[in-house]
């Protein structure tokens, strides 16, 4: 008759067991042990393969630290799961590494976070990476990868972050990215992507951050963008987008930052922009926008950056601009704006930089600017400003730049300008100003 024996005893006294039972037990434990052992060595060899594909490690991060005399779970940049000792995260960002990505990286089957941004990895990405089914976070940004963005990126069904910015990727944005239903951040800026934004991308309804800036994307801004209602940042700047700003932009009410600058957009700034009441930064510069600055701009009470320069805007600055008390930078230069520089500018207590240059502004510089003591840069060159430079200019002790070049200012240059010790750029030329110098000789600024 067979006796049941505790396992510890079994090991010590194998002779108590019938030979076939011992064989069975050994087989079972042996398989478990060797499976566990072999999957750990798989991870170690995958990391060593990665290391062997690194051709330059100037700070010796991996060269000295990734040594088999210690457990790979203690290697720099490696994080293992606390129970199974499998690699779950790999972070080699900013190590100045040069090399290619070895295909064995695809064997790190527990890997969920891979961050290698800011290195000099090059070549193309091996398809074996598709084995990494747990992948949630991929940051390959700021490297030198080239070729097309692989279609198989659409296989990472759990992916939340995909960053490929600042590489040399070419071709179209793969439509397979539309399969990434959990995607929250997509960053493809600073590559050489061409063609239109694929419609499938607007199926990624969880997107909060979409940056496609500095590529060669074309077509109009798709109206399907209205589906991305969680977007906080939309970066489409520095591309070849044309047509009008779509009205559906008004649906993106979570937007904090909107970059549509450096495109070929035409038409007027749509009134729906006034619905984006959380907006902090609005960049529409370097387009071909016409019409007036809409009054609804006054609804954007959180606005800090307003870049409308290099367009064809006409009309006057709306009085409601005085509501934007969070505004830090106001750039309206190189348009066709008219009227006076409003005294409500003095309400913009957060303002540090203003550029109204190359317009048709007239009238006097309002003395309310004396309230804006944190002002750092004032550019109002190439307008038709009249009258004298207000003495309150002497209050602007943070001023670094005062550029009033090419206006019709008259009177004496206030001596208080001499107190502005932070001033680095002062251009008052091409005006009708005079300055009293010690010997009583008048210097005429037109001369
Ligand atoms: C490798 O780097 C990690 C993290 O900085 C450190 O804890 C470990 O001691 C290093 N190991 C060796 C062998 O230098
Ligand atoms: C990787 O490490 C860098 C530097 O320590 C850190 O800034 C970055 O957030 C890390 N990446 C991830 C995905 O945790
Ligand atoms: C913008 O807000 C107004 C109310 O202020 C509303 O009537 C309109 O439907 C909104 N437009 C969009 C596109 O959300
Ligand atoms: C966009 O806003 C309009 C007007 O408020 C609304 O009728 C429409 O359903 C919105 N679209 C989406 C996708 O939410």
Proximal ligand: closest to the CA of 246: 3
- Pocket residues for ligand 3 (CB within 6 Å)? 250-251, 272, 275
Output the CA 250–ligand 4 centroid distance in Å: 9
Instruction: Check which CATH number belongs to the domain holding 64 and give it.
Output: 3.80.10.10
Q: Would residue 9 count as lying in a domain?
A: no
In this structure, the answer to whether residues 222 and 76 fall within a common structural domain is yes
In this structure, the answer to whether residues 168 and 201 fall within a common structural domain is yes
For residue 206, CA distances in Å to 179, 228, 237 come to 12, 7, 21
In this structure, the answer to whether residues 314 and 369 fall within a common structural domain is no
Give the range of the structural domain holding residue 386, as residue numbers without chain letter.
Answer: 360-447
Output the CA 117–ligand 2 centroid distance in Å: 9
321, 336, 359 — which closes off a domain? 359
Output the CA 273–ligand 4 centroid distance in Å: 14
Mutate to test the pocket of ligand 3, among 223, 247, 250 (most ligand atoms within 8 A of CB): 250
In this structure, the answer to whether residues 383 and 352 fall within a common structural domain is no
359, 381, 405 — which closes off a domain? 359
Task: Give the position of tokens 């779509």.
Answer: 246
pLDDT value of residue 437: 57
343, 359, 375 — which closes off a domain? 359
Q: Would residue 353 count as lying in a domain?
A: yes
In this structure, the answer to whether residues 344 and 246 fall within a common structural domain is yes
**Closest to 228 (Cα-Cα) out of 257, 199, 258, 252:** 252
In this structure, the answer to whether residues 195 and 294 fall within a common structural domain is yes
Cα atoms in the 13 Å half-sphere on the side-chain side of 424: 4
Tens-place pLDDT, residues 237-258: 999 999 999 999 999 999 999 9
In this structure, the answer to whether residues 227 and 184 fall within a common structural domain is yes
Please give the average pLDDT of every successive group of 10 residues along the chain, which has 447 residues: 33 38 46 58 95 96 94 96 93 98 96 98 95 97 97 96 98 97 98 97 98 98 96 98 97 98 98 97 98 97 98 97 96 98 93 97 95 94 97 94 97 91 95 70 44
Q: Would residue 180 count as lying in a domain?
A: yes
For residues 31 and 259, what is the distance between their CA atoms, to the nearest angstrom? 57
pLDDT value of residue 257: 98
In this structure, the answer to whether residues 251 and 388 fall within a common structural domain is no
In this structure, the answer to whether residues 315 and 381 fall within a common structural domain is no
Proximal ligand: closest to the CA of 255: 3
Q: Would residue 243 count as lying in a domain?
A: yes
Output the CA 263–ligand 3 centroid distance in Å: 26
pLDDT value of residue 440: 41
In this structure, the answer to whether residues 368 and 355 fall within a common structural domain is no
CB atoms within 10 A of CB 316: 14
SS (H, E, C) 304-357: CEEECCCCCCECECCHHHHHCCCCCEEECCCCCCECECCHHHHHCCCCCEEECC
In this structure, the answer to whether residues 374 and 424 fall within a common structural domain is yes
Q: Which atom of ligand 4 is nearest to 275's Cα?
A: 5
Tally the domains of the chain. Answer: 2
Output the CA 277–ligand 4 centroid distance in Å: 16
For residues 239 and 219, what is the distance between their CA atoms, to the nearest angstrom? 10
In this structure, the answer to whether residues 401 and 339 fall within a common structural domain is no
pLDDT value of residue 35: 54
């Amino acid at each position: 008759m067979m006796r049941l024996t505790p396992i510890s005893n079994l090991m010590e006294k194998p002779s108590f067991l019938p030979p076939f039972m011992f064989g069975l037990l050994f087989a079972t434990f042996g398989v478990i042990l060797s499976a566990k052992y072999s999957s750990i060595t798989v991870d170690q060899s995958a990391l060593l393969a990665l290391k062997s594909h690194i051709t330059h490690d100037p700070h010796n991060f991996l060269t000295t630290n990734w040594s088999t005399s210690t457990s790979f779970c203690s290697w720099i940049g490696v994080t293992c799961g606390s129970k199974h000792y499998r690699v779950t995260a790999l972070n080699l960002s900013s190590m100045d590494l040069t090399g290619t990505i070895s295909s064995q990286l695809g064997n790190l089957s527990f890997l969920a976070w891979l961050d290698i941004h800011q290195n000099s990895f090059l070549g193309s990405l091996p398809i074996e990476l598709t084995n990494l089914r747990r992948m949630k976070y991929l940051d390959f940004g700021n490297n030198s990868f080239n070729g097309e963005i692989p279609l198989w990126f659409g296989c990472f069904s759990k992916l939340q972050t995909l960053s490929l910015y600042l590489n040399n990727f070419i071709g179209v944005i793969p439509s397979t990215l539309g399969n990434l239903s959990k995607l929250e951040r997509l960053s493809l800026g600073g590559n050489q992507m061409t063609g239109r934004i694929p419609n499938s991308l607007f199926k990624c309804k969880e997107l909060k951050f979409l940056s496609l800036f500095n590529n060669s994307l074309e077509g109009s801004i798709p109206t399907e963008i209205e589906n991305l209602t969680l977007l906080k940042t939309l970066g489409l700047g520095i591309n070849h987008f044309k047509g009008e700003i779509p009205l559906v932009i008004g649906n993106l009410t979570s937007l904090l930052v909107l970059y549509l600058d450096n495109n070929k957009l035409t038409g007027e700034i749509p009134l729906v922009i006034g619905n984006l009441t959380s907006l902090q930064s609005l960049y529409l510069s370097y387009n071909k926008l016409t019409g007036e600055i809409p009054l609804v701009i006054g609804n954007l009470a959180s606005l800090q950056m307003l870049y409308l320069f290099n367009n064809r805007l006409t009309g006057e600055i709306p009085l409601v601009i005085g509501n934007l008390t969070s505004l830090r930078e106001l750039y309206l230069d190189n348009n066709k704006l008219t009227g006076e520089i409003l005294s409500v500018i003095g309400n913009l207590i957060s303002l540090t930089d203003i550029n109204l240059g190359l317009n048709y502004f007239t009238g006097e510089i309002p003395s309310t600017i004396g309230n804006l003591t944190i002002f750092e840069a004032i550019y109002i060159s190439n307008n038709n400003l009249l009258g004298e430079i207000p003495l309150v200019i002497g209050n602007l002790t943070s001023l670094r730049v005062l550029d009033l070049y090419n206006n019709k200012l008259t009177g004496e240059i206030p001596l208080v300008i001499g107190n502005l010790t932070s001033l680095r750029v002062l251009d008052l030329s091409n005006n009708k100003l005079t300055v009293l110098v010690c010997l009583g000789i008048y210097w005429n600024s037109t001369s």
